């Protein structure tokens, strides 16, 4: 499927906001999607990808959280809610979207964290995802001993 990198980045940004809302409020996912669809800028996002993230991240939550848990220094429910949502989106992509290079996934997550997360949250996100990528995608990461820091 062909998509614009900008539209995909917008889909991730909207998904971050939607999953944050879902996590904190417990609002039904369909209602959250309807709210976002009312935003006139929403059409510029990769809407099918946003919809996938909004439905599949919650559906795969146990798998995603388990795959990330060993790389965290605290329980998932103790993380900042923005960082938790970013990690879950990136974890989903690492696990279920092998066509997206792990470096792109980490870069997108770091960019979202710089925009929406805590001041130094991007370093935390980068470290967790770098370690997770090595475990989840060892073949892709093989021979690439460097980390993805500095983005």
Determine contact, residues 61/88, Cβ cutoff 8 Å.
Answer: yes
| Residue-wise pLDDT tens digits, 29-82 | 999 999 999 999 999 999 999 999 999 999 999 999 999 999 999 999 999 999
Cα–Cα nearest to 148, from 136, 132, 139: 132
Asked whether the predicted pLDDT for residue 5 surpasses 50, the reply is yes
Determine contact, residues 109/89, Cβ cutoff 8 Å.
Answer: yes
Tokens of 149: 């820091």
The single-letter DSSP state of residue 74 is S
pTM of the model: 0.92
pLDDT > 90 fraction of the chain, expressed in percent and rounded: 90
Tokens of 49: 């990808």
Cα-Cα-Cα-Cα torsion 1, 133, 89, 12, nearest 10 degrees, comes to -50
At 142 the pLDDT is: 87
Asked whether the predicted pLDDT for residue 2 surpasses 60, the reply is no
Please report which confidence band the pLDDT of residue 3 belongs to, taking 50, 70 and 90 as the band edges.
Answer: low
At 148 the pLDDT is: 45
Cα–Cα nearest to 39, from 27, 26, 50: 50
């Amino acid at each position: 499927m062909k998509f614009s990198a900008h539209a995909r980045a917008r889909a991730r940004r909207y998904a971050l906001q939607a999953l944050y809302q879902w996590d904190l409020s417990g609002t039904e996912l369909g209602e959250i999607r309807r709210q976002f669809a009312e935003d006139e800028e929403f059409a510029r996002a990769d809407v099918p990808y946003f919809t996938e993230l909004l439905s599949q991240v919650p559906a795969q939550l146990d798998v995603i959280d388990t795959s990330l848990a060993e790389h965290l220094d605290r329980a998932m429910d103790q993380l900042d809610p923005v960082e938790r949502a970013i990690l879950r989106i990136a974890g989903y992509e690492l696990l279920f979207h092998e066509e997206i290079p792990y470096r792109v996934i980490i870069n997108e997550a770091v960019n979202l964290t710089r925009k929406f997360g805590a001041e130094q949250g991007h370093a935390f996100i980068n470290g967790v995802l770098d370690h997770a990528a090595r475990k989840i995608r060892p073949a892709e990461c093989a021979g690439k001993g460097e980390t993805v820091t500095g983005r």
